[in-house]
Amino acid sequence: MSIYTGPVFDMARQQFHIIADHINMPEDQRDRLLYPKRAIAVSCPIHRDDGTTAVFQGYRVQHHLSLGPTKGGTRFSSSVDVGEVAALAIWMSWKCALAGLPYGGAKGGVTVDPTELSLRELEGLSRRYMQEMIPFVGPHTDVMAPDMGTNEQVMAWFMDTYSMYQGKTVTEIVTGKPVASGGTVGRREATGRGVVHLAMRAAETIGLTPKTAIVQGFGNVGSVSAAELAARGVKVTGVSDHTACYFDPRGLPVEALIRHVAAKRVLAGFSQEALADPASLLTRECDILVPAALERVIDAATAGDLKCRILAEAANGPTTPDADVVLAQRQEIFVVPDILCNAGGVVVSYFEWVQDLQQFFWQEDEVNARLKQILDRAFGQVTARAKRDEVGQRTAAMAIGVEKVYAAKQVRGLFP
């Protein structure tokens, strides 16, 4: 029995055992690799605007400390529980190892629908969550970043709260901060930029000039991915968020959609004519499909119906292991797996942490060039490994990540 339950954790565990089998990891080593080092659960009380008090449950899971501090986002969403957070922390570990970053994986979250909070309430909750986490995090222990439902502003509140308790400014405690408070140029765009860079590498690999793309989720990652695709001349024919779904075979006006979301926070209300059924968005024909919202949106049935050539997994865990079995039979679809596809975010978070520690800041072209260098190296390693082992890109990517963590644990040994 463990505290880690639920469909997202089950999926992370199932994927891990596929990899452990693939690399012949001894049975007795597996739990040491899979189960998180520690999990923290906190209650976060805040004053509501109406004068009442509300309490929200928060979590932080630190997966392993074998390669350095832990690193990972903080999610504010009503789906958050300790199992989901643990799964996301585990995926972060394989992702950081694949990219060659000196981190273990972590993730945190609060069970809350942030759209139901006023800005003042959101600030109160953000500050209280960070305050509760102070004994467990630190620039060399565990470094937070944004994820679903949090953003640069939340990171600035986290950094300010931590700093107030230290009596000095500690910018390196979180990444994904605004540039005005120690953030790096290029971090906000990094995940989406990386997604599109890798989707284009995939296109090159299969000899495709992509003309159309569909993006599910229009938050930080989805909107930047859409903008990057449009900037490269790829028509974005479909987009969705939790409030609306639009499809137009002639292409949607991405810049106008972004302006609409900046003003209204959601896609709803943008257009009547282009309204479409969200249930069929993922299975419409397109060259590049970018799921950039939730986990487990592509199950076996959806995988069988996909009509894309490249599946660029911007979200964490969008494809279930059952769907992977179907995709293995569909060689015409090139999968860029999540731990590779969305790694741009943590790579530039790493750059931000390094810049903050050194108080020496880089230009945007330097950030982007180094980002590409790391992503290209990882892409090359994954495609070579997939070919060598005759497996899909996900198995190849995860095998590289898991092996690196395993090797670090083996050489360090087991304390005491």
Would you count residue 403 as binding ligand NAD (CB under 6 A)? no
Whole-angstrom Cα distance, residue 171 to residue 58? 22
State the nearest-atom distance from the C-beta of 27 to ligand NAD, in Å: 31
Is 107 in the active site?
A: yes
Residues whose CB is less than 8 angstroms from the CB of residue 124 and which lie 6 or more positions away in sequence, other chains included: 46, 47
Q: Quote the least distance from Cβ 133 to ligand NAD, whole Å.
A: 19
Determine the residue with CB nearest ligand NAD: 219
**Least distance to ligand NAD, CB of residue 354, Å:** 17
Backbone angles phi, psi at 371, to 5 degrees: -60, -50
Which stretches within 212-253 are classed as H helix?
Answer: 220-231
Q: Where are the beta strands (DSSP E) in 318-376?
A: 334-336
82 or 314: CB nearest ligand NAD = 314
Q: Among 93, 161, 175, 216, indicate the residue that binds ligand NAD (CB under 6 A).
A: 216
* Residue 191 found at the interface with ligand NAD (CB under 6 A): yes
- Helix axis angle, 344-358 to 82-99, nearest 10°: 80
Please state the closest distance from residue 201 (CB atom) to ligand NAD, in A.
18
Q: Which stretch binds ligand NAD (CB under 6 A): 50-58, 134-142, 291-299, 365-373?
A: 291-299
Should residue 293 be labelled a site residue for ligand NAD when binding is judged by CB under 6 A?
Answer: yes
To ligand NAD, the closest distance from the beta carbon of 297 in angstroms equals: 7
- φ and ψ at 3, to 5 degrees? -75, -10
From residue 229 to residue 248, the character string flagging contacts with ligand NAD as x (rule: CB under 6 A) and all else as - is -----------xxx------
Q: Residues 244, 254: contact at Cβ < 8 Å?
A: no
Burial classification of residue 380, based on how many CB atoms lie within 10 Å of its CB (0-12 exposed, 13-18 middle, 19 or more buried): exposed
Q: Cα–Cα distance between 111 and 80 in angstroms, integer?
A: 5
In angstroms, give the least distance from the CB of 192 to ligand NAD. Answer: 8
Is 185 an interacting residue with respect to ligand NAD (CB under 6 A)? Answer: no
CA distances, 187 to each of 32, 47, 329 (Å): 33, 32, 36
Q: Parallel, antiparallel, or unpaired: how do β-strands 245-247 and 104-111 relate?
A: unpaired
Catalytic residue among 95, 107, 235, 372, which? 107
Among residues 20 and 174, whose Cβ is nearest to ligand NAD?
Answer: 174
* Sites for ligand NAD among residues 135-164 (CB under 6 A): 146-149
Question: Which residue in 183, 119, 205, 262 sits closest to 379, CA to CA?
Answer: 205
Options 94, 218, 247, 334; binder of ligand NAD; rule CB under 6 A: 218
Residues numbered 71-130 forming contacts with ligand NAD, rule: CB under 6 A:
none
* C-alpha to C-alpha distance for 56 and 75, rounded to whole angstroms: 13
- Binding residue (CB under 6 A) for ligand NAD from 85, 236, 314, 382: 314
Q: Which are the catalytic amino acids? A: 107
Interaction site with ligand NAD (CB under 6 A): 146-149, 191, 216-222, 240-242, 278, 292-294, 314-316, 342, 345
